[in-house]
Structure 1
Amino acid sequence: MSNKKKVTIEDVAKQAGVGIATVSRALNNTGGISEKTKARIMQVIDEMGFVPNTSAQSLKIRQTHQIALAVPDIRNAIIPDIAWSV
């Protein structure tokens, strides 16, 4: 298992010399920042290997883009085909 610390949005903001909200605007392409600042943030993101946390994003926007499928018996031969179709 790796002991490498996961890069956070706070780490990116500090390295880029901007606030967390500015990094968020750059990531979400919501505007309100200059192209120069956005380019610097994106460069820092690439250099640091930042990957947005999809679980945190889902909590914030209250959407997971996932569905659940309840089946009566997984041993039924037709269930995998139905699940694949869904």
Structure 2
Amino acid sequence: MGCNMMSVAASFYKETLAVTTGISAPFNNLAIIYKQQTAADGLVNRGNTFKEIGRVTEAIQDYIRAVNIRPTMPEAHANLASA
């Protein structure tokens, strides 16, 4: 945000959400839990970035996805309400 590179930040958030591929079988359950938590955080962060650059519809979609992943995440609900 400080460098006025919101579109670049949004693309990095998108890539971050897809990082957990190729994890070996013993770690699958742990990876699923961790991915859900980090995915929700990443979606909220990307939603914030979209909102800052005026792409409110995309921000709302990310907040809704975050709420679906982690229904008890207050930031996702608050940001969805503000969007």
TM-score (norm 1): 0.31
Query: Which one has a larger percent helix, Structure 1 or Structure 2?
Result: 2
* Higher-RCO chain (CA-CA 8 Å, sequence separation at least 6): 2
TM-score (norm 2): 0.32
Q: Which structure has the bigger radius of gyration?
A: 1
